[in-house]
Structure 1
């Protein structure tokens, strides 16, 4: 079965983006393991809000990957050969995990991450914590008192910039 990996960055206070969706605070001075991680995945999953944000960055970064955008309102295929998934998310993910291929990257956003956490679909979390406090924004984990998940810490890597990257596996 293919692994679904959430590879994501957050501020020290747990935000993945500003309220506007802006990620201008993310460090871009180093690779921080992104190139190695990107090479191990062949499929990318994201929510529609995240997809729209990615489109605003300029050149589309996932041309060489199979991309699925989870949306309740959009359907069909985009100009970037990304496909919208707008119904029966559970069976789609189960089938995708059983299909042939490398690992699957869950890019975001917060609502889709919450759905994947609720359903137990995330196998690993690679979290890069940037040494910045934003004070507000889009949280990594949606506030849900019913969501309690134990993780196993597998690896911690620190960088001179103050960024800390942790690899967790889900029980």
Structure 2
């Protein structure tokens, strides 16, 4: 079975983006393990809002991977060969996990992460905590006691910039 990894950054107060969706506060001064991680990834899954944000990047960064976008309304192929999935996400993900291939990266955002936690679809969390307090924004985890999970600490990396990257296995 293929593994699903949430590789994501947050502020120290738990936000993954400003309220506007902006991620201008993220450190870009070094790689922070991204190159090593993305080399294992052949499939990405993200929510529609995250996909729209990715389209605003200077260059589309995922042309080498298969991309699925979870949407409540859109279905079928989109720009950059992304495929919109709008029904029965749980069954789609079960089939995707059983297919051949490498690591599946859950890119985000908050609603998609919530769905994956609620349906026990995350195997690993790699969280890069930036030393910044945003005060408000889009939370990493939506408050909901039904998604409570225990995590096993696998690794901690400290960087000179103050960023701390923590890797957890998610217990089922």
Structure-1 separation of matches of 2:19 and 2:120: 27
Q: How far off its partner does 1:143 sit?
A: 1.0
- Counterpart residue number, 2:58: 58
- Counterpart residue number, 2:17: 17
Report SS of the residue matched to 1:101: coil
Q: How does 1:26-105 map to 2 (within 5 A)?
A: 26-105=26-105
Residue ranges of structure 2 left out of the alignment (5+ in a row): none
- Counterpart residue number, 1:106: 106
Structure-1 separation of matches of 2:95 and 2:74: 21
Residue ranges of structure 1 left out of the alignment (5+ in a row): none
Task: Spell out, residue by residue over 1:128-168, the C-alpha distance to the aligned partner (whole angstroms, 9 max, x if none).
Answer: 00000000000000011332110000000000000000000
Report SS of the residue matched to 1:8: strand
Report SS of the residue matched to 1:80: helix
**Large movers: runs of 4+ above 4 Å:** none
- The answer to whether the 8 Å contact 2:118/2:146 transfers is no
TM-score, normalising length: structure 1: 0.99
Structure-1 separation of matches of 2:30 and 2:53: 22
Report SS of the residue matched to 2:53: helix
Aligned residue pairs, count = 171
Task: Spell out, residue by residue over 1:23-52, the C-alpha distance to the aligned partner (whole angstroms, 9 max, x if none).
Answer: 000000000000000000100000000000
Task: Spell out, residue by residue over 1:70-89, the C-alpha distance to the aligned partner (whole angstroms, 9 max, x if none).
Answer: 00011121120000000010
TM-score, normalising length: structure 2: 0.98
Report SS of the residue matched to 2:6: strand
Task: Spell out, residue by residue over 1:83-116, the C-alpha distance to the aligned partner (whole angstroms, 9 max, x if none).
Answer: 0000010110000000000010000000000000
